[in-house]
Structure 1
């Protein structure tokens, strides 16, 4: 019986795919900025929010607070009062990803924002970790 077990084990090991180091699959989306007059438009706000699996209103509210300005959503884009460079807005998006998208435990983007009572939690679908996040 020992020989059958060894054969089965060898066969099973042959079926397991080899581990290959995979390039990080998640990249922060790049912003598309249009500055005209004293307004800055984030043309791809909705597509960024969709890629991050977040509500565009939540992302817009965060950006308004971080940029310290007024603004509003106009369809798929966000409009901010004031002139902001691409690097400035991209930096805020990167910070948003760190705080509200990536799991603090496993660093994967497979997370959801869930509200439990008055507390908002970042729940990781990959590792199951849960951590509280600040209110926007």
Structure 2
């Protein structure tokens, strides 16, 4: 009887997905870049912005300001003047997420940016908290 139990237990363990208890349903997307000459292309700007639930133009504006460079959007790509590493861009996207996506109170990504007069606010749909954020 103990052998049958162990066989059934092994079979059940094989059917459990690798990460059944994921810590969070939200993960910051990883950047995909292409450096050619003196230009860096962020190939998945659109999908990153979509995953974060923000306008790609807002994310692009933030990245340009933080990197201190010129650039533009072409479809789902972000084009930057200068050579930037994957780490530099990932660090800026992580800081954008901390400031403009995640709730200060509960840490969830269920937020939206709203304007109240001239102040931009981060409103959390999960806990109802509101906090002001600096404009991009």
TM-score range normalised by the length of the shorter chain: 0.7 to 0.9
Aligned to 1:10: none
RMSD (Å) for aligned C-alpha atoms: 0.9
Check 1:30–1:22 CA distance in 2 against 1; reply closer, same or farther (3 A cut).
closer
- Name structure 2 gaps, 5 residues minimum: 1-20
Aligned to 2:56: 56
Aligned to 1:23: 23
**How far apart in 2 are the matches of 1:23 and 1:115?**
32
Aligned to 1:103: 103
Q: Residue 26 of structure 1: CA displacement?
A: 1.0
TM-score normalised by structure 1 residue count: 0.83
* Matched residue SS, 1:27: coil
Q: Residue 40 of structure 1: CA displacement?
A: 0.2
**How far apart in 1 are the matches of 2:50 and 2:25?**
16
Displacement over 6 Å in runs of 4+: none
**How far apart in 1 are the matches of 2:23 and 2:122?**
24
Structure possessing the higher radius of gyration over alpha carbons: 1
**How far apart in 2 are the matches of 1:103 and 1:58?**
18
Q: Residue 23 of structure 1: CA displacement?
A: 1.7
- Name structure 1 gaps, 5 residues minimum: 1-20
Q: Residue 22 of structure 1: CA displacement?
A: 5.5
Deviations 1:82-110 (A, max 9, x none): 00000000000000000000000000000
Instruction: State how 1:40-51 maps to structure 2 within 5 Å.
Output: 40-51=40-51
TM-score normalised by structure 2 residue count: 0.83
